[in-house]
Amino acid sequence: MSGERKFRYVGTRPVRHDGLDKVTGRANYGADFTLPGLLHGYVLRSPHAHARIVSIDTSAADAVPGVKAVVTGADIPKSTAMLSLGGGKGGFDLADMGDNLLAHDKALYEGHAVAAVAATSAEIAREAAEQIAVVYERLPPVLTVDQALAPNAAILHDRLVTKGQPLPDAPTPTNVAMRMELRGGDVDKGFAESDIIVEYEFTTPMVHQGYIEPHACVARYGEDGQILVWTSTQGPFIVRDCCAGILGLDAATIKVVPSEIGGGFGGKIPVYLEPVAIALSRKAHRPVKMVMSRDDVFRASGPTSGAKVRMKIGVKQDGTIVAASGSLYYEAGAYPGSPAATGAMCALAPYKIPNFVIEAFDIVVNRPKVAAYRAPGSPSAAFATESVLDEIARRLGFDPIDLRLKNAVEEGDAAPYGPKYGPIGLRQVLEATKNHPHWQAPLGPNQGRGVGCGFWFNAGLSSSATVSLSSDGSATVVTGNPDIGGTRVAQSIMVSEELGIPVERVRATVADTDSIGYSDLTGGSRVCYATGMAVIKAAQDVRDQLRARAAKIWDVDVDSVAWNDGCAVPLEPADDRTPLTVHQLAEKIAQTGGPIIGRASVNAPMAGPAFAASICDIEVDKETGVSRVVRYTTIQDVGKAVHPSFVEGQMQGGAAQGIGWALNEEYIYSPDGLMQNAGFLDYRMPVASDLPMIDTVIIEVENPLHPYGVRGVGEVPIVPPLATVANAMRDATGIRFTDLPLSPPRVLEALARY
Amino acid sequence: MTTLHVQTTINREPAEFLCEPVETLLDALRDRLNLTGTKEGCATGDCGACSVLFNGRLVPSCLVLAAEVHGQEVLTVEGAAHGDTLHPVQQKLLEHAALQCGICTPGFVVAAKALLDHNPNPTEEEARYWLAGNLCRCTGYDKIIRAVLDAAESMRSDTREVTV
């Protein structure tokens, strides 16, 4: 175990090997790939938020010169299968995913795909698609949680029943796909014992992950049934298995080649284009490229749930939290699957609360089906909890960090969702937050300061890795996880650490699905943790084989060869037994037994939980309602930072996304359910001039589940910002904002009211 | 539709291609000339991933017609480095780990080069406003801005060495 381990390469900041291709424009992303005879696909999408599809007549499109194939929902079998992740819990409902690819009976949101065309040019495909005659019978759109729950609400899915723990009077069919409940202690008694009770209802808007690269793929269906898919994805094996499951094919016939990926944040886990491209290619007998426009990306991929959260917390005069109750309602979009359950599990996770009840609802609405987005569910829940705690601290006259410290969970405390925490770093994070110079720095006029906290589980799941040694002593490491933020260089560092060779001599590659064992998605903050564990084990496999080679050279038993500082070392020294370096052993690789390949696969346990906090200073222009983050610090327990620069990058990027969610980002709909801001001009993500430098503090409380103590980094930094920004706004204006985003019109209106 | 014959200079080399009158420079670069370093993020001029220099001026190539570059000069990310020598912005982006997914990076390289061509000593605020037309969703901009300011400094000290 890593307790006293001194690292030589872990914790250094080498330049990533894949960086050169990225700064020179050579790196190939989803849309950069081509094949001979390539056709271009175009998707016809529903102009209505909710409509029954009466008929689709594609004959006019079929007749357009240059059109080689047209497909509709009839070409996507109605699968009933579920696809699980790594054989474990969770997964994808392939019936819904297939229906989302091309609508079968109903268009469930504006932008829902209804047909697709492949033609010799993108223009011909688009013009032909516009000639497809779709007869719709419009239905009333259900756009919000409140509309979906109304007694006379239109129903999206005729057979939907509430799973989980439905309320006793739950109607059928319903728009409530799932209800769950977490309970502990006696919440009524807890509130009765409370000195102060604070309760608010909060809303957070539907937002998009906002990756800059639109979804793109190329598919080729061969005459022999062998299929090639080149695609930008977080999970090449997920794409393979979804395509196979939806289209009724054998997974082994599909080779998915992951391109470089231009951002994902959870949004590039599902399939949107790939099975459609395969279906088109099968009909056209030619490869088909499909690329989403930005408009498509907004209307038909991604977003994460808008949510409504009612949160009530009771405390004693000394700041001890004694009771909490919360109701969380998450918009799932057109099909079940919002992160309501994780939201409920995260909502109170940072605090010791003896009496609590949390209920969460997964609610379908006529909006695009939500996808994962960085710590799915947790930001909206934390926005509520952390805003209420801020208000409690004000009423008690407590420092808000002290209030959190007083109630912070520690090792051995039970999480509200059941298990007891192992070693966790919340206390260290909060202490570092309190001790940071930012917390005491003077504020300028019209400025306010807020603090907030957040939790995320981090995932484990399945990963595979191989490490191959070359005869010159350099090494390659291969995994199945697309590198979304520097994981290849982190994997090189791990191999260096195990073998004692410099990072420049270890090249990491992301392989296609034929060339590496099954690996779950890049997501859940799991690549450095779980895939890293596989990489370390594969490197250790190489190391053990090198020990065996040294034993052979020395003609001794392998048990009498140790590994020390990058060398095979004889435990019983002799004149002809001097330590052998990797380089020396590699040179003799052919004579001592042939190529050396280390391999490992892991099904990693749930990772070490992550806690983060942040401090935000905001400046508000009270004449215009425009606010600006003038200083931001994010503090996080990462377990162990393998490449600290990329760890900081995750923390800064998550903070920026959270700030965008807090201040400006939102899906805006017309009353009939049409998105009004499907472009970067009107969907306002933070730009460079919106933000200050984002200071980071890395806390390292080792995760005992990982050989180096890694926890996973990517997701939790987006959890604290929503409340942190709103708490800063409260400090600056005296107004408790409960609805995000804190856009200028909303701030101005509130300032006028108070 | 008439196909146009465009003769131009791209990355200091003569280049020619055929295009449709409605075709964007972005599509011509990517699909006609195989210069796929220039990326499409939005096709509406809002994200900056397709930034190129058009006669030295920073433009989104998705909003320029391909035919407009006839007889003019274009510089794309592929032309930012000289031989084995990276542009200082490219070098500093690498050293600062200022890229994660990297899809916005070509646009930032071109836009930052344009900034430093115009203003060799930008303040942080000037750099932030100049680069406000380039969206990055991964980094929060912190490391990008540091890399660009560091590149500016290294270019200034290089110039001093030459003039001394």
- Complex prediction ipTM: 0.97
A649 touches chain B (CB under 8 A): yes
> How many contacts (CB atoms, under 8 Å) link A and B?
187
Residue A389 lies in a domain: yes
SS (H, E, C) A547-597: HHHHHHHHCCCHHHEEEECCEEEECCCECCECCEEHHHHHHCCCCCCCCEE
Distance of residue A454 Cα from the nearest chain B Cα, in angstroms: 19
Distance of residue A483 Cα from the nearest chain B Cα, in angstroms: 7
Distance of residue B137 Cα from the nearest chain A Cα, in angstroms: 6
Sketch out chain B's domains with CATH numbers: 4-79 (3.10.20.30), 88-163 (1.10.150.120)
Residue A190 lies in a domain: no
In this structure, the answer to whether residues A242 and A105 fall within a common structural domain is yes
In this structure, the answer to whether residues A596 and A610 fall within a common structural domain is no
**Residue at which a domain ends, from A585, A604, A623:** A604
**Residue at which a domain ends, from A300, A321, A355:** A300
What distance, in Å, lies between the first and last C-alpha atoms of chain A? 57
For chain A, positions 433-472, list CB contacts with chain B under 8 A: none
Q: How far from the centroid of its chain's Cα atoms is residue A385's Cα?
A: 22
Residues of A in contact with B95 (CB under 8 A): 15
User: Is the Cβ pair A652, B142 closer than 8 Å?
Assistant: yes
Q: Which residue of A has its CA nearest to B39?
A: A213
Which CATH number goes with the domain that contains A420?
3.30.365.10
In this structure, the answer to whether residues A638 and A741 fall within a common structural domain is yes
Cβ neighbours of residue B160 closer than 8 Å, sequence gap 6 or more: none
Which CATH number goes with the domain that contains A289?
3.90.1170.50
Residue A181 lies in a domain: no
In this structure, the answer to whether residues A676 and A625 fall within a common structural domain is yes
In this structure, the answer to whether residues A511 and A643 fall within a common structural domain is no
For chain A, positions 404-423, list CB contacts with chain B under 8 A: none
Q: Which residue of B has its CA nearest to A121?
A: B31
For residue B160, the model assigns a pLDDT of 58
In this structure, the answer to whether residues A483 and A522 fall within a common structural domain is yes
**A701 lies in which domain range?**
307-458+606-753
For residue A1, the model assigns a pLDDT of 43
Least confident segment among A87-91, A219-223, A585-589: A87-91
The closest CB to that of B100, out of A210, A486, A688, belongs to A486
For residue B156, the model assigns a pLDDT of 93
Residue A152 lies in a domain: no
Taking residues A126-154, report their average pLDDT.
97
- Per the CB < 8 A criterion, the answer to whether A274 and A43 are in contact is no
Q: Which residue of A has its CA nearest to B146?
A: A693
pLDDT band at B102 (very low <50, low <70, confident <90, very high): very high
The closest CB to that of B93, out of A23, A654, A693, belongs to A23
Q: What is the pTM of this model?
A: 0.97
Beta-bridge partners for A456: A610
How many folded domains does chain A comprise?
Answer: 3
In this structure, the answer to whether residues A582 and A716 fall within a common structural domain is no
- Check whether A708 has a pLDDT greater than 90: yes
CB atoms within 10 A of CB A35: 15
In this structure, the answer to whether residues A454 and A377 fall within a common structural domain is yes
pLDDT band at A121 (very low <50, low <70, confident <90, very high): very high
Distance of residue B87 Cα from the nearest chain A Cα, in angstroms: 9
In this structure, the answer to whether residues A349 and A251 fall within a common structural domain is no
Beta-bridge partners for A569: A562
> Cα-atom radius of gyration of chain B, to the nearest Å?
16
Residue A194 lies in a domain: no
Residue-wise burial string across A139-171, b where 16 or more C-beta atoms lie within 10 A, e elsewhere: bebbbbbebbbeeebebbbeebebebebeeeee
Q: Strand, helix or coil at A720?
A: coil
Residue A637 lies in a domain: yes
User: Is the Cβ pair B133, A265 closer than 8 Å?
Assistant: no
- Check whether A295 has a pLDDT greater than 90: yes
Residues of B in contact with A686 (CB under 8 A): 140-141
A655 touches chain B (CB under 8 A): yes
User: Is the Cβ pair B137, A211 closer than 8 Å?
Assistant: yes
Residues of A in contact with B147 (CB under 8 A): none
In this structure, the answer to whether residues A281 and A366 fall within a common structural domain is no
Identify the residue whose tokens are 């939980």.
Answer: A609
Q: Which of B142, B143, B145, B149 to mutate to test the interface with A (most CBs of A within 10 A)?
A: B142
The closest CB to that of B41, out of A213, A264, A687, belongs to A213
In this structure, the answer to whether residues A539 and A587 fall within a common structural domain is yes
Q: Which of B138, B139, B143, B149 to mutate to test the interface with A (most CBs of A within 10 A)?
A: B138
Residue A170 lies in a domain: no
Residue A203 lies in a domain: no
User: Is the Cβ pair A648, B143 closer than 8 Å?
Assistant: yes
Q: Strand, helix or coil at A132?
A: coil
Q: Residue A637 phi/psi, 5° resolution?
A: -85, 115
Residues of B in contact with A688 (CB under 8 A): 127-129, 131-132, 134, 136, 141, 144-145
User: Is the Cβ pair A23, B44 closer than 8 Å?
Assistant: no
**Residue at which a domain ends, from A573, A604, A635:** A604
- Check whether B148 has a pLDDT greater than 90: yes
For residue B106, the model assigns a pLDDT of 98
- Check whether B86 has a pLDDT greater than 50: yes
Tens of pLDDT, residues A665-696: 999 999 999 999 999 999 999 999 999 999 99
Q: Which residue of B has its CA nearest to A25?
A: B37
Q: Which helix (H) or strand (E) holds A631?
A: strand A627-637
- Check whether B147 has a pLDDT greater than 70: yes
Percent of chain A with pLDDT over 70: 99
In this structure, the answer to whether residues A285 and A349 fall within a common structural domain is no
User: Is the Cβ pair A685, B135 closer than 8 Å?
Assistant: yes
Percent of chain A with pLDDT over 90: 94
A376 touches chain B (CB under 8 A): no
